Every structure is written in C-alpha cells, then in structure tokens.
Amino acid sequence: MSVLIVGSTALDSIKTPKAENPRLLGGSASHAAVAASFFGPVRLVGVVGEDFPKRYLQLYKRRRIDLQALQILPGKTFHWSGEYDANMNNRRTLLTELGVFETFTPTLPSSHQNSPFVLLANIAPSLQHHVLNQMQRPKFVVADTMDLWLNIALPDLLKLLKRLDAFVLNDSEAHQLTTEDNVFAALKKIHKLGPRYVIIKKGSHGAVLSGPRGFFICPAYPLHRVMDPTGAGDSFVGGMMGYLATARGSIEDNFRRAMIYGSVVASFCCEGFGLLRTARITRGQIDHRVKELERLTRF
C-alpha cells in the first residue's frame, strides 16, 4: 500500500564544527519520502522553485518516489540553514527563507486522495489540515511537528491532534506541549488530546511509544560517529510508515517492528550530510542493522 507524504521540500545549508555543506537536498518530506521508499510506493506532496537542482529531482526518481504532486513554481525553493555545536543535540536555526512555500496550498490529484497511509510531516498545521481534508477515509494518519508550530499555531495543532491515529514529537516539544518533564506522564497527557499512538523521540536515546498495547522502548542504533543529524526524526517516521504500509498483518502487530525500522533508517541518515548517505543504502543494509538491534536488545 502506498504512503502519501506532505511536508517541506527544501534546500538545507548545514554547518557542523567540522564541515559546512550548502544547499543540500532537505526538508521534512524529502527525508521522510526517501526513508519510506525502501519499503514500498511513496507519493510526495510538496513545492519547489525553479532553482531546485535537477539532480535532486533525479534522486527522488531513482528512489521511485511519485512526483505527480510535487509542484515546481516560479520563485525560490524553501531554504533552511542550521548550525550544530560539538554536541550534536544542540542546533541553532540560522535562516529560514520560505520562497515558494509562502503560498503553498496543494490540491491533490484524485489518484492520490485514496492513499491508505498518510504522513503529515513537519509543516504548518493549517497545511496538514488542508491535505487531510482532501483524503478519502485513509487507513492510518500520522503527523510530526516542531517547536515553531507549538509557538505560533497551537490552536490549529490541537485541532489536528483530534484527527490523527498517531502523533510524533521530540522530548523538548512534548515538554513544551504538556509542561511535563517526565516522558511517560507527557505521553498520557498527549493521548488525552486525541491520538491512539503517541511517540516521543529522544534523539540518540531512541524513542518511546505509548499505544493500545502499552509502552514500547525503541532503541537508537548505536553510532560511533554522527556527521549530521538533520532529518533523522523525519527519516524515523518515514521509515516507520513505509514499513507499516507494506508489512502483512495488523498495524498493532507491526507497530514495534516498524519503529525499529524507522530507527535504523534514521541511523543511516546521521552518518552523512543531508540525504547523501541515506540515498545510497540498500534494503539489505537496513535489514542487517535491524538484526543487530534485535541482538543488542534481547535479554
């Protein structure tokens, strides 16, 4: 079954203490779509400007991502720039240039409106609503967010939570939303806002799920060297949705394993700048790391 993914399609300029890489392919939807593409068909909904490099379109195509709903408009592609400290958990946004994103209001082709799995990757909640309004009875809807929307679009986000099956956010966003320091207490509060499945991501410490079958502690794959964690959260949720959409059996039965797959794809993302590493891996390499994680956590 296919996954429809809407979110940002961006050019990312990323600085770490050791290196600087301008105008890489980035954006929440790009990372999530590439991650999901290792499992099954993906439909990308987004917008780029005329400056969007052809080689990035080719990268999407090589991953067999459906680009029918990717608009190319006159103007500039969304450009985001961020800088990491030596401790890669600390990042500062240096620049956000919206470009063609400023007026983005996607109309989905009718072929996309029946996608069973919908991933509303990080983007303004009003746009997440706009896309969801066009879907015909999707089977499973997941959304991600960021601190910016908690600050400037909380009422829209709270309305969205009531329409979701699953909500994914990181630990600092969970604290911001609930004022709880304790992850488990925060999960409980977020359930009350709507979603049956809530996942709190904790960066290099993995993620915690609270769902119909209780809690699940999902480990991060142990990496000795992180090059650039940009997009790791998007890769996690993209990989998870890709696996869920294609695995046999019920969503409930597959959910934990889907998170492990997401966690593994995110680990590859961290090993290279932007999508450089993720775009070159194979399904076999993903399966291999999943087996390693299984061995590392069995007791």
Residues contributing to the site for ligand AMP (CB under 6 A): 8, 10, 12, 26-28, 80, 96, 122-123, 148, 230-234
In angstroms, the first-to-last Cα distance of the chain is: 34
Separation of alpha carbons 243 and 246, rounded Å:
5
Which tokens in the block code for residue 140?
């499973």
* Residues 164 and 141 sit within 8 Å (Cβ to Cβ): yes
CA nearest to 235, candidates 195, 197, 257, 203: 203
CB nearer ligand AMP, residue 234 or residue 247: 234
**Residue 119 beta carbon to ligand AMP: minimum distance, rounded to whole angstroms:** 13
CA nearest to 142, candidates 32, 26, 248: 32
**Residue 139 beta carbon to ligand AMP: minimum distance, rounded to whole angstroms:** 25
CB nearer ligand AMP, residue 96 or residue 134: 96
CB nearer ligand AMP, residue 28 or residue 246: 28
**Residue 269 beta carbon to ligand AMP: minimum distance, rounded to whole angstroms:** 9
CB nearer ligand AMP, residue 33 or residue 108: 33
Separation of alpha carbons 272 and 186, rounded Å:
32
CB nearer ligand AMP, residue 37 or residue 230: 230
**Residue 24 beta carbon to ligand AMP: minimum distance, rounded to whole angstroms:** 8
SS3 string, 167-214, reads EEEEHHHHHHHHCCCCHHHHHHHHHHCCCCEEEEECHHHCEEEEECCE
Distance of CA 13 to the CA centre of its chain: 18
CB nearer ligand AMP, residue 78 or residue 247: 78
Using CB atoms within 10 Å of the CB of residue 159, give its burial: 0 to 12 exposed, 13 to 18 middle, 19+ buried: middle
C-alpha radius of gyration, the chain, whole number: 18
Beta bridge partners of 12: 24, 80
* Residues 96 and 76 sit within 8 Å (Cβ to Cβ): no
**Residue 106 beta carbon to ligand AMP: minimum distance, rounded to whole angstroms:** 14
CB nearer ligand AMP, residue 27 or residue 239: 27
